[in-house]
Amino acid sequence: MADEDPFQWLEDVTGDAALDWVRARNAETLDELTSGERFARLRDGIREVLDADDRVPYIRRRGDHFYNFWQDAAHPRGLWRRTTLEEYRKDAPEWELLLDVDALAEAEGENWVWQGAAVLRPDYRIGLVELSRGGADASVVREFDLDRRAFVEDGYRLPEAKSRVGWINEDLIYVGTDFGEGSLTTSGYPRVIKEWRRGTPLSAATTVYEGKPEDVSVFAHHDPTPGFERDFVGRSLDFYRVEKYLRTAERLVRIEVPEDANTSVHREWLLIRLRSPWEVNAREYAAGTLLAARFDDYLAGSRELTVLFEPDAHTSLEDYVWTRNHLLLSTLSDVRSELHVLSPGEGWRREPLAGSSEFGVAEIIGTDPEHSDEYLLSTSGFTEPPTLKYGHVREEVETLKSSPARFDAEDITVDQFFATSPDGTQIPYFVVRPRAAGGPALLTGYGGFEVSNLPGYSGVTGRGWLARGGTYVLANIRGGGEYGPGWHTQAIKENRYRVYEDFAAVAADLVDRGITTADRLGIQGGSNGGLLMGVMLTRYPELFGAIVCQVPLLDMRRYHLLLAGASWMAEYGDPDDPGEWDFISRYSPYQNVHSGGKYPPTLFMTSTRDDRVHPAHARKMVAKMLEQGHDVRYYENIEGGHGGAADNEQLARKWALLFEFLWERLSA
C-alpha cells in the first residue's frame, strides 16, 4: 500500500517529518489569513461570545445539587462546580468549586481537558473523573471525593486509554480498558469488561464479559434504582447492531430484540426503539417506532407491546427521557420540535409539553428519574438566544436563565425550503439571512450516522457571519435522522451517493431561488461532514466558490485501518471487500482528486490530538493537492481532539480562520 500512496508517511501522527510538514503548512496559512486587523477583530469578537459571563450555565441534577462545567477567559480549561436550585435562581449564584482544571494542568504540567465524571448514586459523594491530554478521546481516570474536593490518593486510577468505567457500588466498578494484548477491538475500544474491587491491583480484576475482536466495543452498566437493581452487559457488533444481556448471578439473559434496535430499562418498563421493521405476533412495526413492555414479563417470553410512538412521512422521534413517573418525548415534524408527555397505565395517556418554537429546538436536557417529575428544558432558535426552563410535569414552567443576544437579529429572517434530489426526494433546508443580505452564503450539512442537524442559536455564526451581511444555510440531507431511521438507512454503503446528491441539490436550489450564486456560495463541514466537503470538492466543484473541510475522512481506501475507522464500516462499507470498494472508490475524495481538475479554493483544518478521525486524512489530501498545483491551504491545531480546539482561545481562532477564509474568497 505504501508504494501506491506516496504520502502515507504523513500518517505518522507525531513523527518529526510529518510535524515539520504540518508546521510549514500552518505558517503559510496563518501568514495568509491572520495578518490583517479584520482577522483580529473577528477572532476577538468570537472570543467574547465564547467567554461571555452571562451565558446560560447549563446544569445537571445529581442528588441535592446541580452540577455545571464552566469555561471562560479566566478559566480556559474549566471549572467543575455545583450549587443548589435556590442559589441557581439568583442572578449571581454562589458556586461550590469541586475541581479547577486549569490549576490541575499547571500543577501537573499537563494540557488536561475535561471529559466528564461518573458519580456514584445515591449519595453522589465519589466520582470517576476522566481527563484527556489535549482533548483526545483517550483519557485517564481518577477517583474523586466530592466532599473533600480532592482526588482519592489510593482510589481507582487508570492510565490513558479509551476506557469504559462505571460504578457498581462504593467498592466495586466495571472497567473496560487496555489490559494488554488482545484486550481491544480492531476499532481500538475495550473488548473485555471486568469487575475491579477497591484495594486490589487492576491485574486482579475479574472478567465478566468478552466481545469479539471484530466488534466495535463492549459495555457494562449497573442500575442502582431501589427495588429494580439490575446489571447489563453487551457488545456493539458494529455501529448500529448490539447484543444486550441482563447479567444475573447465575447467567446472562439475552434481551431478545432486533440487533439494530435501541433498548432502555426504567423501573418495570422496557423501551424498544426500532431502526428497521419488526414483525411480532403477526403484526409489523415500522422503523422508528417506540414500543413499551413490562421488563420482567418480556424476559419471561411475553410479547405484549404498546406503541408509544409511530412515525409518518413527516414526523420522527428525536429523543425520549424518563422522569420518575412519566416519559417525555421529543419529536420532529419537518425538522420542527414538538414535546409530549406519556404517562404509564392502562392506556399510556399522552399530552403536549409546552416549550416548542417554530424554527428552533426544544430539548429536555435533564430529569430526576429516581425521585421526581422535574425536568430542565432548553429552547433556542436561529435568532432566539438560549433559555433554560425548569418545571414538573403538569405544573407551571419557570424560566431560570436566558442568554442575551450576541448579534442584532431584528432584521434577520428564517425560512424553510425544500430542494428536489435527483430521485425526487424532497430535502428540507433552512435559510437565515438579513433582509438586506448583500454578503456571501455559507451552507453546511452532515448527512451521516442518523445525526439530526437541528436549528439552534449560534452567537459565533451570528457575530462572525450573519452580522456582517452573510446568509447561513442548514441542510437536512439524508444520512441524518431528521425523518427517523429510514432517512439514514436510505443513504448508507452502496447508497451513500444520495447524501452527496442531496447536498448538491440544495446548493443548486439556492441559486435557482436567487438566494446566492455559485461563486458566492461557500460550504463547511466536519468529520463525516468533512467527508461531505471532500466529495463536493471533487465531484461538484462547479457549485461552490470556496470550501472549508474540518477533521475529515478523505482516504476511504484506508479509513478502516486508521484509529477508530473500523467502527464505521456499517456506515460506509469495507474497502477490503472488492464489491464494496467499487462503490466507495467512486466518491473517495483522496482517490478522486486529479491534477486536471478545477477546484474552488479550499481550507482543510484538523487536530494532531484527534484520535478518532486520523489527521492524515487531511494531511495527505493537502499534500496531494499541493503537488497537483491546486488552490489549497492547511491548518492543524496541536490540541483539541476531534473537536479541533481544547479551549475557547483555540476555538475562537479556528472559527475566525474559517470565516475569514470564506469571506475573503466569496466577496472578491
Q: Which residues are catalytic?
A: 527, 642
Given the C-alpha cell 473517495, which residue does it identify?
588
- As to burial, measured by CB atoms within 10 angstroms (0-12 exposed, 13-18 middle, 19+ buried), residue 592 is middle
**β-sheet bridge partners, residue 523:** 443, 547
Distance (Å, rounded) from C-alpha 223 to C-alpha 388? 28
DSSP secondary-structure letter at 177? S
Residue with cell 428540507: 428
DSSP helix/strand/coil, 175: strand
Question: For residues 615, 618, 620 and 621, what is the CA-based torsion angle, rounded to 10 degrees?
Answer: 170
Q: Is-contact 534 526, C-beta < 8 A?
A: no
Bond before 122 cis per omega within 30 degrees: yes
What is the rounded CA–CA span in Å between residue 246 and residue 220? 10
Q: Grid coordinates standing for 583?
A: 462503490
Question: DSSP secondary structure string, 181-238?
Answer: TT-B-TTSSB-EEEEEETTS-GGGPEEEEE--TTSSEEEEEEE--TT--EEEEEEESS
The closest alpha carbon to 572, from 500, 486, 496, 502, belongs to: 496
Alpha-carbon distance 642 to 12, whole Å?
17
Alpha helix locations (H) across 52-176? 85-88, 101-108
- Separation CA 312–CA 252 (nearest Å): 37
**Cβ-based neighbours of 249, under 8 Å, separated by 6 or more:** none
Distance between CA atoms of 577 and 579, rounded to whole angstroms? 5
Q: Are strands 521-526 and 546-550 parallel, antiparallel or unpaired?
A: parallel
Q: How far apart are the first and last CA of the chain?
A: 42
Distance CA 224, CA 247 (A): 14
Do residues 364 and 377 make contact, with C-beta atoms less than 8 angstroms apart?
A: yes
Residues with Cβ within 8 Å of 49's Cβ and at least 6 positions away in sequence, in order, are: 406, 459, 460, 463
Residue closest to 139 by CA, chosen among 616, 606, 566, 611: 611
Of 567, 641, 580, nearest to 607 by C-alpha is 641
Instruction: Supply the DSSP string of 498-551, one letter for each residue.
Output: HHHHHHHHHHHHHHHTTS--GGGEEEEEETHHHHHHHHHHHH-GGG-SEEEEES
Could you tell me the three cell numbers for 340? 409530549
> Residue 500 contacts by C-beta under 8 Å, 6 or more apart in sequence?
532, 535, 536, 539, 540, 587
